C-alpha cells in the first residue's frame, strides 16, 4: 500500500486519534500500547509514527481535541445564558458545563489524570491556561464588574473555583455518597450567593 488521497489521509489521522482516545480513556496512557492502537485502527506502526512523532505527541493531540470540545461548549453555553437580570446566569452556565465535563470518564482520565503526568507540570498549565481557567476567569471578571467581587481577588478566586469544580467532577464520577451533580451545584451556588 502507498500514498492515498488527501481525504484518506485525513481519515487515517482521525481514526488514529479516535482509537487512541478510546484506549487512553479505558486503560490510561501508560497501560495503552502503541501496538494496541495500531491493531484496532487497522493500520501499522509506520502509519502512526508518520503522523505523530512520539506516543506523547499523540496523547497531546487527543488531549487538545478534548479540551477544545469542552471549551467550545462552555463558551457557547455561557454566551447563550447571558441576561441583564442575573449576572450569575452566564457564569453559572459556564461552570455547569465544566462540571459536566469533569464528570465524564474520558475527560477525567485523559485531561485530569494523565494530562498533568504526561504533559508535565509546566506543559499542562501552559495549555490549560487558555482553556478551562480562562472560562472561569471571564465569569468572575463579570462578577467584579458587577461589584460583587473585589478586583484584587480575581486571580486567586478563579484558581480556587476552577479547581474546586475539577475535583468535584472526580468525586461525582467516583460515585461518592451524597456527591452528585445536583448537590455540588447546590453547594457551589450557596457559596456564590453568599458573596452578594
Partner DNA sequence: TGGTATACATACCGCGGGTATGTTGGGGCC
Partner DNA sequence: GGCCCCAACATACCCGCGGTATGTATACCA
Residues that bind DNA (CB under 7 A): 1-6, 8-9, 12-13, 32-35, 43-47, 49-50, 53-56
Q: Which does 183 bind (CB under 5 to 8 A by kind): its own copies, DNA, none?
A: its own copies
Q: Cβ distance 40 to 23 under 8 Å? A: yes
Residue 131 beta carbon to DNA: minimum distance, rounded to whole angstroms: 25
Q: Which member of 34, 61, 144, 171 binds its own copies (CB under 8 A)?
A: 171
66 contact, one of DNA, its own copies, none, CB 5-8 Å limit per kind: none
Task: Using the structure block, give the residue that is written with the C-alpha cell 452566564.
Answer: 90
Contacting its own copies (CB under 8 A), which of 24, 29, 98, 107?
29
Does the protein bind its own copies through residue 131 (CB under 8 A)?
no
Q: Give the residue, chosen from 112, 137, 142, 143, that forms a contact with its own copies under the rule CB under 8 A.
A: 112
Smallest distance, DNA to C-beta of residue 12, A: 3
Q: Which pairs from 71-75 meet CB under 8 Å and 24+ separation? A: 71/131, 71/132, 71/135, 73/97, 73/101, 74/98, 74/101, 74/132, 74/135, 75/135
Smallest gap from Cβ 172 to DNA, in A, equals 30
Of residues 54-93, which lie at the interface with its own copies (CB under 8 A)? Answer: none
The partner in contact with residue 162, picked from DNA, its own copies, none with C-beta cut-offs of 5 to 8 angstroms by kind, is: its own copies
In angstroms, rounded to a whole number, what is the distance separating the alpha carbons of residues 196 and 193?
6
Binding to its own copies (CB under 8 A) within 90-109 occurs at: 108-109
Residue 62 to residue 144: CA distance in whole angstroms = 35
Q: What are phi and psi of 31, to 5 degrees?
A: -85, -10
> For the chain, percent helix, then strand, then coil, each to nearest 5?
80, 0, 20
Amino acid at each position: 500500500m502507498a500514498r492515498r488521497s488527501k481525504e484518506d489521509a485525513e481519515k487515517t489521522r482521525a481514526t488514529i486519534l479516535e482509537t487512541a482516545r478510546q484506549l487512553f480513556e479505558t486503560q490510561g496512557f501508560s497501560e495503552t500500547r502503541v501496538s494496541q492502537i495500531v491493531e484496532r485502527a487497522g493500520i501499522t506502526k509506520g502509519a502512526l509514527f508518520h503522523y505523530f512523532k512520539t506516543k506523547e505527541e499523540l496523547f497531546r493531540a487527543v488531549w487538545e481535541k478534548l479540551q477544545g470540545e469542552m471549551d467550545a461548549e462552555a463558551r457557547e453555553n455561557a454566551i447563550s445564558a447571558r441576561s441583564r437580570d442575573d449576572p450569575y446566569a452566564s457564569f453559572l452556565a459556564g461552570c455547569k458545563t465544566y462540571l459536566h465535563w469533569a464528570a465524564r470518564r474520558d475527560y477525567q482520565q485523559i485531561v485530569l489524570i494523565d494530562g498533568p503526568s504526561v504533559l508535565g507540570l509546566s506543559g499542562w498549565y501552559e495549555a490549560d491556561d487558555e482553556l478551562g481557567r480562562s472560562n472561569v476567569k471571564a465569569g468572575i471578571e463579570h462578577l467584579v464588574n458587577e461589584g460583587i467581587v473585589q478586583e484584587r481577588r480575581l486571580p486567586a478566586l478563579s484558581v480556587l473555583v476552577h479547581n474546586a469544580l475539577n475535583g468535584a467532577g472526580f468525586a461525582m464520577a467516583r460515585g461518592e455518597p451524597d456527591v452528585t451533580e445536583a448537590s455540588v451545584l447546590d453547594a457551589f451556588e450557596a457559596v456564590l450567593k453568599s458573596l452578594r
